[in-house]
């Protein structure tokens, strides 16, 4: 994919036409749909991958994607449920903790948000979670359409701000 989300969509659709049960293609297509703005198509694709491979080693990332969609849709209660599942499945993923920090922040659970942000910083191994400016400079999820960037600003970044992440 290499953050070339729109270009990857027909490739994954071809894979699924040849093998409708390819769990990686289902997840990846869902991720492509997310970052090209078709977020309503993401959850059914990822849920299908989960049903087909419920013990998959990557399941934490799959849960993360569902949680992220709910976060972008400002459905923070659902986001928390899925992001907590993602954290439980793979507690070493810094982005899970950052997304949870954001969701908790948006829900007004500042203490929990701060703890998750601290854990994201500890796990990341770099300074990406030091400020919102740093996250933006890194292009959090690569090239995304303006609609998704606006949703990231309104939800993810707003929640991180409430969790205590500084602007600069």
Coil, strand, or helix at residue 27? helix
CATH architecture of 5-162: Alpha Horseshoe (1.25)
Q: pLDDT tens digits for the chain (168 residues)? A: 677 899 999 999 999 999 999 999 999 999 999 999 999 999 999 999 999 999 999 999 999 999 999 999 999 999 999 999 999 999 999 999 999 999 999 999 999 999 999 999 999 989 999 999 999 888 766 667 889 989 999 999 999 999 999 999
> For residue 81, what are the contacts with CB-CB under 8 A and spacing of at least 6?
67
- Sequence spans of domains, the chain: 5-162
User: Is the distance from CB of 35 to CB of 148 less than 8 angstroms?
Assistant: yes
Q: How far is 125 from 105, CA to CA, in rounded Å?
A: 23
**pTM higher than 0.85:** yes
Phi and psi for 125 in degrees, rounded to 5? 75, 5
């Amino acid at each position: 994919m290499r953050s070339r989300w729109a270009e990857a969509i027909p490739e994954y659709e071809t894979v699924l036409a040849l093998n409708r049960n390819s769990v990686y293609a289902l997840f990846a297509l869902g991720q492509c749909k997310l970052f090209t703005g078709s977020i309503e198509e993401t959850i059914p694709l990822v849920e299908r991958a989960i049903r087909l491979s419920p013990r998959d080693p990557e399941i934490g990332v799959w849960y993360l994607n569902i949680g992220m969609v709910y976060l972008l849709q400002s459905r923070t209660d659902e986001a928390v449920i899925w992001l907590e599942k993602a954290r439980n499945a793979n507690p070493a993923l810094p982005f899970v903790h950052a997304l949870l920090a954001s969701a908790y922040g948006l829900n007004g659970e500042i203490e929990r948000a701060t703890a998750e942000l601290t854990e994201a910083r500890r796990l990341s191994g770099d300074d990406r979670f030091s400020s919102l400016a740093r996250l933006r400079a890194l292009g959090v999820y690569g090239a995304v359409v303006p609609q998704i960037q606006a949703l990231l600003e309104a939800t993810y970044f707003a929640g991180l701000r409430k969790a205590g992440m500084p602007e600069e």
